Structure 1
Amino acid sequence: MAGRDFHAPLLRRAGWRVGDVVTADPGRRAAAEADWPGVRAHPDLTALLERSRPDLLVVASPSGRHVEHALAGLEAGVPVAVDKPMALDRDGAAALVRRAEETGTPLTVFHNRRWDAEQLTLEQVLAGGRLGTVHRFERRWERWRPVPKDRWRENAVGEGGLLLDLGPHLVDAALRLFGPVTAVRAELRALTTPTEDDVFLALEHAGGVLSHLTAGSLVGAPGPRTRVLGSAGAFLVPGHDDAPGPFDVLDPGEGMAGWLVRGAEAEPVPTAAGGPADFYRAVTRWLTAGGPVPVDPCEAVAVAAVLDAARRSARTGAAQRPAGD
């Protein structure tokens, strides 16, 4: 479903053509052929790689098979963009990077939220020094879903859950903005599903910033999407398009991403240019014009290390240091 619902529309907007689709479900193969006339539908990845040589392999299978499928693409010499999480743990992610280097095959990771207008706007605010010295970063991905969906993401313990689904985006944003993490504290709970649906991470960055990251499905009043606190003010994004909440009344208006706040003073901040399809536009430049890799896979390894540390912290109740080379 991720391939059809997320990747395919973004690929189209970025000028790519979907030429091959892999799914073991005959109904989905028929739907793919109807959605994209001329597409070749295959029952498994082996069949695709035997019959076709795509310009790019997008791995959007369930998380537990990301490493297997990405390795198959790398071994075949096909450039790979693997969806988040890159792997279930740091070891799996690092193994992919090593194999990409050994085969000389391009590898990137779909951390597409880097191109969200909100993220790009925050980067501009920080670059302009408008918040002074930042001491805390908060980001929430909360929603009210008391009756969970019946999908592998909710049910597959060890492969699903919000830590692996939304955690990569949250952690990637924190690392990109504020650098390496020296300690992780975490709370992980399963309230309505077999997998965790209530996640809180506290990250201590080497530069002194604290990041508080939250993801939850049983949140009747979703909090402000983003709040960044500094010595000269705060940046506030009240709501999230995917989860209506009580802070939507603070919407800054069309063309505005959030607020620059100093006590009772609030100034709307214009939205930076950009959007989710820019990931695949960057892939095009990377593969055809020698542009930079859209997401360095080594950065996804660092994200996986933080998520591993979060699991250890939740299990032990103590802060944990992410593993590194």
Structure 2
Amino acid sequence: MIRTGLIGFGLGGTAFHAPLIAAVDGLVLSAVTTSRAEAVHAAYPQTRVATPDDVIADPAIDLVVISTPNATHYPLARAALEAGKHVVIDKPFAGCAEEARALVDLARANGRLAVPFHNRRWDSDFLTVRSLVEAGRLGEVLLYEAHWDRFRPEPSQQWKETPAAGAGQLLDLGPHLIDQALLLFGGPEAVSGDLAVQRAQGVIDDYFSVTLHYGARRVVLASSRMIAAPRPRFGIYGRTGSFVKFGLDPQEAAMRAGASVEDASHGAEDPSLYGVLTLPEGGRETIPSQRGDYRCFYAGIVSAIARGAPPPVAASDAILGLRIIDAARESAAEGRRIALV
């Protein structure tokens, strides 16, 4: 069994990491860091509550999972790797590409894994999009649009809404949108970025639009907290067809509501949200969404640690994603396209 310590028991820890770790064979949730000890004991009676330092120093812990405010990801991951632990790091993997490279170098030097938690690779909608693109149903893709919108006009007091390192919409949702695009199309030639503060009381970027340039193809990734009627989650337009899909993968909502990942319907999308493939001659086909399953990430972690398989997400993918975020910020500040070399 891979003994796992979870640092952080907020939304990420309670709704994602802890239930997934508990559900995957080969992992045991040994310790959790939180100020809400009673919540841990109620949900996981065999799990102890400890400080971050205790989790990192514990020789019985093999894997440390970091689900804390963004600015703490790098120092906590560095300390865990220096202590000889494997690490899983919630997005963003680090605050910038330079920090991410430093973590990867340290992991390699210590013979350990540093793995980004890019669980959205196993979203039902993205699995469906990926299968259509890879099967050539759309032909050459000329325009790919992905939106992740919310309507939250009043800024909260949470750390994500304060002008501190690691805050802002681009670093919050950008890593997932970018990672999905990179899986489909690889690294772009150049990046254009646009950031804005749209809410009256806002102090951090709550809107972004990032364009990835691939020759004639454009990949547009956008998010806003001021959209009450969401745009299509995906719009993919190719030479031989287009696919448009509304709605968001159901796993997060179910897990936040306390549903078990063991439920028979877990990860299955409501048929009313299935996307539509439109062909140039006018044909339309409803495409059933594949079943999403975030457990695949942690099953991949078990295979990587126990059997030496490749990790479920390569750290190099997170580095490239952070390079794109860094370039998008530079582009937005300078008003020009930034080449990636």
TM-score, normalised via structure 2 length: 0.85
* 2:4 matched residue in structure 1: none
Distance 1:31 1:166 in 2: 27
Structure 1 residues 81-120: aligned runs within 5 Å? 81-120=88-127
In structure 2, give the amino acid aligned to 1:17: V
SS at match of 1:181: coil
Distance 1:100 1:87 in 2: 14
8 Å CA contact 2:245–2:273 kept in 1: the answer is no
Structure 1 residues 153-232: aligned runs within 5 Å? 153-192=160-199, 193-205=202-214, 208-232=216-240
Q: How many residues align?
A: 311
Distance 1:53 1:191 in 2: 48
TM-score, normalised via structure 1 length: 0.89
Change (3 A) 1:253 1:33: closer
Q: 1:12 aligns with which of 1, 22, 30?
A: 22
Structure 1 residues 279-290: aligned runs within 5 Å? 279-290=297-308
Q: Deviations along 1:286-324, whole A, 9 cap, x unmatched?
A: 2223322111101100000000001101111111123x5
- 1:304 maps to 2:312: no
8 Å CA contact 2:211–2:218 kept in 1: the answer is yes
Distance 1:259 1:55 in 2: 45
8 Å CA contact 2:57–2:83 kept in 1: the answer is no
Change (3 A) 1:241 1:104: closer
* 1:124 matched residue in structure 2: 131
* 1:248 matched residue in structure 2: none
Q: Answer with 213-222 or 272-281: which moved more.
A: 272-281
**Residue 88 of structure 1: how far off its partner (Å):** 0.8
Structure 1 residues 34-113: aligned runs within 5 Å? 34-43=42-51, 45-113=52-120
Residue segments in structure 1 that go unaligned for 5+ positions in a row: 245-251
Q: 1:275 aligns with which of 293, 307, 318?
A: 293
Distance 2:212 2:134 in 1: 21
SS at match of 1:229: strand
* 2:271 matched residue in structure 1: 254
8 Å CA contact 2:123–2:249 kept in 1: the answer is no
Q: Answer with 75-84 or 232-241: which moved more.
A: 232-241
Distance 1:235 1:282 in 2: 30
Change (3 A) 1:257 1:77: farther
Distance 1:195 1:266 in 2: 41
* 2:339 matched residue in structure 1: 321
- 1:239 maps to 2:247: yes
SS at match of 2:39: helix
**Residue 268 of structure 1: how far off its partner (Å):** 1.1
**Residue 208 of structure 1: how far off its partner (Å):** 4.1
* 1:249 matched residue in structure 2: none
Distance 2:58 2:307 in 1: 27
Q: Deviations along 1:140-185, whole A, 9 cap, x unmatched?
A: 0001111233210111433111111100001111111111112111
Q: Answer with 213-222 or 7-16: which moved more.
A: 7-16
Distance 2:307 2:119 in 1: 20
**Residue 255 of structure 1: how far off its partner (Å):** 9.0
Distance 1:241 1:146 in 2: 23
CA RMSD in angstroms, aligned pairs only = 2.1
Distance 1:50 1:138 in 2: 44
**Residue 256 of structure 1: how far off its partner (Å):** 7.2
8 Å CA contact 1:117–1:257 kept in 2: the answer is no
Q: Deviations along 1:112-138, whole A, 9 cap, x unmatched?
A: 101112111111111211101111110
Q: Answer with 33-42 or 93-102: which moved more.
A: 33-42
Q: Deviations along 1:13-46, whole A, 9 cap, x unmatched?
A: 32333211123x3xx1332233211212113x22
8 Å CA contact 1:183–1:204 kept in 2: the answer is yes
Q: Answer with 188-197 or 62-71: which moved more.
A: 188-197
SS at match of 1:308: helix
* Identity value in percent: 34
Distance 2:248 2:55 in 1: 38
Residue segments in structure 2 that go unaligned for 5+ positions in a row: 1-9, 254-268
Q: 1:134 aligns with which of 141, 155, 177?
A: 141
